[in-house]
Amino acid sequence: MLLRQLISEGTATVSQAFPEREAREMVLLYLGYALGTSRHTHIIEPSYEVSDVHASDAMKAFARMAAGEPIQYIIGMAYFYGREFLVTPDVLIPRPETELLCREVIDWTDSYGLPSGGLRIADLCTGSGCIAWTLALELPGTEVLAVDISDGALDVAAGQSFGKDGCKSPSFFKADVLAGPQDRFGTFDVMVSNPPYVMESEKAMMRKNVLEHEPELALFVPDNDPLIFYRAVADWAKKLLKPGGLCFVEINESLGEETADVFRDRGFKDVQVVKDLSERDRFVRAIQDFS
C-alpha cells in the first residue's frame, strides 16, 4: 500500500473519535515511530510503499486509537522534557504540567548552590520516572532516589534508557509513601512528588480514554481524604529534607490553599501555591526551616 493512501485511510479511521486535524497528527506520529518516516515522506516520495505487514499493523493501531486507547500506550512512548520515555499501562502518561515542576526545581537549584558531594533529590510516587530521570539528566552529578508502590511502574522507571547519557542513573525503590518516611534513604536537598490527587467525585469530568486506560492507582484519592498523599509527603519532607531544602509538589487545582496549609501546619517556611501556564493553582512549594 502507498504511504499516502495509508495516511488517508488511517486519518479516516482515527477521525471517528478525534477532530480530523488531530487524527492526522496521531497517524503521522504513529507512522514516524513505526516506520521511521517523516511528516513529509509521502509528499517527497509519492510512490513510497508500505509492506502489507506494516500496513496491517498500522491499521490495527489506528483502530485502537479510534477506540480511545492513548497513542502513547500504543507506541509505548511519551515525550517529556524533550526526551522519549517508555510508557506502559502500568504508568501514568507524563503530563506537560509536570515538565513545569521539573523546570521550577531546576531554576530553584541555581539559587540554592551546589552542596559539596552534589545534590540529593527524592522523587516520591515516581511512576514512569519522568521527573527523576529529567532532574538527573538536567542537573549532572545529582543523586536521585525515587520510590513507588507499583512493581510495574518501577520496572518501567528503571528500564528507561538514559543511563548512558552522562548522568548518574536514579535509584528506584519500592516503598509505600503512606507508611511514613524511611530513614534508610538518608537526607535530601530537594523532595518532589506528583502523587495521586484526583478525587473520586471528579471522575465524571474526566476523559474516557484516561479513565479506561490509565492506572487507577496513579490517579485517585478518596473524596473524604483528598490530601492523604500531601500529609504523607510533607511528613517525609519534614523528616528527610536538609535545612533550607525545597519540597515541590504537583497538586489538585481545586485544593491549592488547603494543600499549602498541610505544609504550613508542619512548620515549613515560604509556603506558596504556584500557578501553571493556564493560571491554575498547580504546585505547592515549601522550604524546610533551619530551626
Ligand X SMILES: C[S@@+](CC[C@H](N)C(=O)[O-])C[C@H]1O[C@@H](n2cnc3c(N)ncnc32)[C@H](O)[C@@H]1O
Q: Which three cell numbers stand for residue 45?
A: 516520495
Nearer to ligand X, 176 or 212 (CB): 176
CB-CB contact of 277 with 227 (8 Å): no
Rule CB under 6 A: choose which of 71, 74, 130, 137 binds ligand X. Answer: 130
Rule CB under 6 A: choose which of 11, 26, 72, 127 binds ligand X. Answer: 127
Stretch that binds ligand X, among 13-21, 47-55, 174-182, 199-207 (CB under 6 A): 174-182
- Say if strands 281-287 and 269-275 run parallel, antiparallel, or are unpaired: antiparallel
Query: Interface residues for ligand X in 41-70 (CB under 6 A)?
Result: none
Nearer to ligand X, 3 or 154 (CB): 154
Q: Which residues pair with 81 in a beta bridge?
A: none
Compute the distance between CA of residue 180 and CA of residue 60 in angstroms, rounded to an integer. 45
* Residue 134 in the binding site for ligand X (CB under 6 A): no
CB of 283 to ligand X, least distance (A): 12
Rule CB under 6 A: choose which of 11, 13, 37, 98 binds ligand X. Answer: 98
Burial of 284 (0-12, 13-18, 19+ CB in 10 A): buried
Q: Dump the DSSP string for 212-274.
A: HHS-HHHHEE-TT-TTHHHHHHHHHHHHHEEEEEEEEEE--GGGHHHHHHHHHHTT-EEEEEE
* Residue 131 in the binding site for ligand X (CB under 6 A): yes
* Residue 194 in the binding site for ligand X (CB under 6 A): yes
Q: What is the contact surface with ligand X in residues (CB under 6 A)?
A: 91-92, 94, 98, 125-128, 130-131, 147-150, 153, 176-178, 194-196, 217-218
